[in-house]
Amino acid sequence: MKVVLVDFLNAYPLYYALVNKIIDNDIEFIKKMPSVCARLLFEKQVDVGIAPSIEYAKSDYYLVPNVCISSDNKVKSVALFLKKPLNKVKTVKLDKNSNTSVALTKILFAYKYKLEVDYIQDRADCELVIGDNALYRIEHTDEEIIDLAHEWKEFSGYPFVFALWIANHKIQVKYIDLFLKAKEWGVNNLDTIAEAFCDTHNYDYEKAYDYLKNNLSYDLTENKKKSLELFFDYAYKLNLIPQKPKLRFLYE
């Protein structure tokens, strides 16, 4: 089986134990940016992937149960960096690496801020930045920063789900068990994961560990399912997805 992974720190707890054979498995792994993960899943070049949550609404997919990448309040790694006050923003530069974060930005501007803005790829009044790039930029900027998970929580009352284990066909139960065991190992060994990440990236261990422990959560709870459904509702209203999908889990 071939699996595509998001090469961001926030995803490490879901797959570190599998990639490093702490949990024995026969999976072939490749690492890509979120938008590429989505494309490979859609084109069926892989069987399963950690993909942006909005991608689930774009085809006939299945979800691995009880696992996601989410934030209960502030996520840090998905943020708007403002060059002027929010109420004066007219242009927004989007980060094309994740369609979920792009959709969330558009939903918040339309329904929370109620601002009409132009989305561009050049210099803009504010910029969406995601993933490890956002973590680095936070450390080296004096710009005003708006955390999008926090904004969604204020707006909807729900945590936000950024990514999911998505399959483009039914897979063997043993692989679901592996994904769930890997998540359990990951959330219980965040210190090891933070250290491994910092060994290969120019990032501070304490900040990496704090981010994993306090800004992220990995269980797909009932509240998070409701959040996903609401997110899909708003995305559909803005014509960002072709349908409002029902959540369909493998072997449920």
Convert the pLDDT of each residue in 18-67 to its tens digit.
999 999 999 999 999 888 999 999 999 999 999 999 999 999 999 999 99
**pLDDT of 147:** 97
Domain boundaries along the sequence of the chain: 2-70+161-237, 78-156
Sorted by sequence, the CB contacts under 8 Å of residue 245 that are 6+ apart come out as: 56, 57, 232
pLDDT at 96: 81
Contacts of 58 (CB under 8 A, 6+ apart): 38, 42, 241, 242
Residue 137 contacts residue 129 (beta carbons within 8 Å): yes
Q: What share of the chain is helix, strand, coil (3-state, %, to 5)?
A: 45, 20, 35
Note whether 2-70+161-237 and 78-156 share their fold.
Answer: yes
> Is residue 252 pLDDT above 80, yes or no?
no
Residue range 169-224, pLDDT digits in tens: 999 999 999 999 999 999 999 999 999 999 998 889 999 999 999 999 999 999 99
For a pLDDT cut of 90, what percent of the chain falls above it? 90
Q: Tens of pLDDT along 150-173? A: 999 999 999 999 999 999 999 999
Residue 97 has pLDDT above 90, yes or no: no
Helix H segments across the chain? 12-19, 34-42, 99-107, 131-138, 148-156, 173-187, 190-200, 205-214, 222-237
Which CATH code, of 3.40.50.1820, 3.20.20.140, 3.40.640.10, 3.40.190.10, is assigned to 78-156? 3.40.190.10
Evaluate whether 35 touches 96 at the Cβ level (below 8 Å): yes
Supply the pLDDT for residue 152: 98
| Whole-structure pTM value | 0.95
Question: Which fold, 2-70+161-237?
Answer: D-Maltodextrin-Binding Protein; domain 2 (3.40.190)
pLDDT higher at 112 or 140: 112
Class of residue 39 by CB neighbours under 10 A (exposed 0-12, middle 13-18, buried 19+): middle
For 241, the token pair is 């997805």
Identify the pLDDT of residue 139. 87
Contact 42, 36 (CB under 8 A): no
In angstroms, rounded to a whole number, what is the distance separating the alpha carbons of residues 226 and 231? 9
